[in-house]
Amino acid sequence: MTFRNRLFLLPIFVLVFTLTTLPAMADLPNFTKLAKEAGPAVVNISTQKTITVPRKNQPEIPNFFENDPRSPLNDFFKQFERYFRNGRPRPETERSLGSGFIISSDGFIATNNHVVEGADEIKVNILDENGDYESYDAKVIGTDKLTDLALLKIDAKRELPTLKLADFSEVEVGQWVLAIGNPFGLDHTVTSGIVSALGRNISNNPYDNFLQTDASINPGNSGGPLLNLKGEVIAINTAIIARGQGIGFAIPSSIVKDIINKLKTDKKIRRGWLGVSITNVDPNMAQALGLDESEGAFIAQVVQGQPAAAAGLLEGDIILKVNGDKVADASELIRIVSSLTPGSTAKFTVYRKDKTITVKVKLGERDSEDQQQAPQKGSKPTNSDIKELGLTLAPLDVKTAQALGIKDIKGLLITNIAQDSVAARAELRAGDVILEANLTPVNSVKEFLNILKTQGEKRGAMLLKVVRQQQVMFRTMTLEK
């Protein structure tokens, strides 16, 4: 093809490209009206607190003018000694910026706990009708560190613009969103993007249930709203990943609505408490117990004297629903139970030994978590090899139980684990004590082998209740067919 022919085809290519891209461009949203209408309800939050900063030890410098109070150098040395001498700490004022938004016209403002935590002074700056800033002293009504939410109150002289919290059940991955905030102190910065994902856990906190977005979020955006195209707040912008770009996290409006209403009413958060140790139900565990799907929360331990024990929940139960709401995993169970009022009665749908039952539990109030004890070592009694599992077992005797810190002389001691075996892949270790197999107590190798043959080989998996270093846990062995 000649150069002239190529020049002739170029305008045709440009025309075709333009015609094919115009419909796609026409579908892009225009955020102009949304930013203009929502902007006045977004506030700038500035905080100030006094912190003590330690100083490295400095050499002592004598004040040669101490006896001459008229000398200006005497004041200099006094100031030097006050702030720097001998590593004495000195006070400093720390300032920070964040965002928030007005949720009621009488001056209630939602933001993040970390924006205002420990602040001695909180200023809220809002736009007036003329686009100028008004500054108000803010009072903290209540905070919740676990969900990183806070409720503030200002006394304005006028009725304030507000933003409405959206129904989070309608939020979908891929929908357009708009973030408004004050990144790096740049007031009312507007960025757009989409909902990237739902249900993100970024810190191994069971209360984490973040919305992920690619709308630009930076330091100073914390506490600001993430809006849908109707101008409703679907989440509060909260966190970023320092090593990533275009990845931000926000607290869903469903959580915000629940926590903020509780803070407004009670000024504190009271959470329901069950009194169990739980873990997720993985596919291997579901297979071992005869469940069709790997869902729910498996009860690994029931704390005596707590609501679960009083209601009759047992170790090995799998909680499938609470008050009719499906429980996907252990974290969701914690969130559901915590959202319920202490003292209220909840209905738990439980899978127990091939049957589904209902258990009613009067919930307690969540306070603190139990701590596990330190590890100890044991000795080696008589061994029995189970070669197909790569496992060596021995009955537990009094001496070994005492060495392991176990009160009841029950179970089977694992004395050896073969490398790259079924037992090794199940993360079992020498020194573990097997208490149950498929929720049935085992005190002899014969009992263990019977469950292996009648249930384990049939289902292709076995669930073991194990004591390791005085801590109860569950491990699932996937059997090779």
pLDDT tens-digit map of 401-457: 766 667 677 888 888 888 788 888 888 987 788 999 999 999 888 899 999 998 988
Catalytic residue among 222, 254, 331, 338: 222
Selected residue with higher pLDDT from 80 and 455: 455
132: pLDDT strictly greater than 50: yes
Rounded distance, CA 187 to CA 112, Å? 17
Tokens of 146: 């676990």
Looking at the chain, the domain(s) classified CATH 2.40.10.10 span 40-153, 168-266
**Tell me, what's the pLDDT at 369?**
38
Q: Which of 12-26, 231-245, 267-281 has the lowest mean pLDDT?
A: 12-26
| Right CATH for 384-478 from 3.30.950.10, 3.20.20.370, 2.30.42.10, 3.40.640.10 | 2.30.42.10
183: pLDDT strictly greater than 50: yes
| Right CATH for 272-365 from 3.30.960.10, 3.40.50.300, 2.30.40.10, 2.30.42.10 | 2.30.42.10
State yes or no: is 99 an active-site residue: no
Class of the CATH-defined domain 168-266? mainly beta
Average pLDDT over residues 339-350: 94
Assess contact for 318 and 289: CB atoms under 8 A. Answer: yes
Tokens of 70: 């008229």
26: pLDDT strictly greater than 80: no
Looking at the chain, the domain(s) classified CATH 2.30.42.10 span 272-365, 384-478
Assess contact for 468 and 378: CB atoms under 8 A. Answer: no
Selected residue with higher pLDDT from 121 and 73: 121
State yes or no: is 188 an active-site residue: no
52: pLDDT strictly greater than 80: no
State yes or no: is 354 an active-site residue: no
**Tell me, what's the pLDDT at 131?**
79
174: pLDDT strictly greater than 90: yes
**Would the pTM of this model clear 0.85, i.e. be above it?**
no
Assess contact for 45 and 97: CB atoms under 8 A. Answer: yes
Class of the CATH-defined domain 40-153? mainly beta
In the DSSP assignment, the letter for residue 91 is E
Tokens of 460: 């292709």
378: pLDDT strictly greater than 50: no
The amino acid at 72: P
Catalytic residue among 148, 208, 317, 329: 148
Rounded distance, CA 320 to CA 295, Å? 7
Selected residue with higher pLDDT from 170 and 284: 170
* Alpha helix positions (H), 102-188: 113-116
The alpha carbon of 96 is separated from its chain's Cα centroid by a whole number of angstroms, namely: 24
77: pLDDT strictly greater than 60: no
Tokens of 65: 């003018």
- Across all residues in the chain, what is the average pLDDT? 82
Rounded distance, CA 302 to CA 278, Å? 9
Catalytic residue among 46, 96, 99, 114: 114
* Phi, psi of 243, deg, nearest 5: -85, -5
Assess contact for 176 and 127: CB atoms under 8 A. Answer: no
Average pLDDT over residues 14-27: 53
Residue 14: its H or E element = helix 3-26
Selected residue with higher pLDDT from 218 and 60: 218
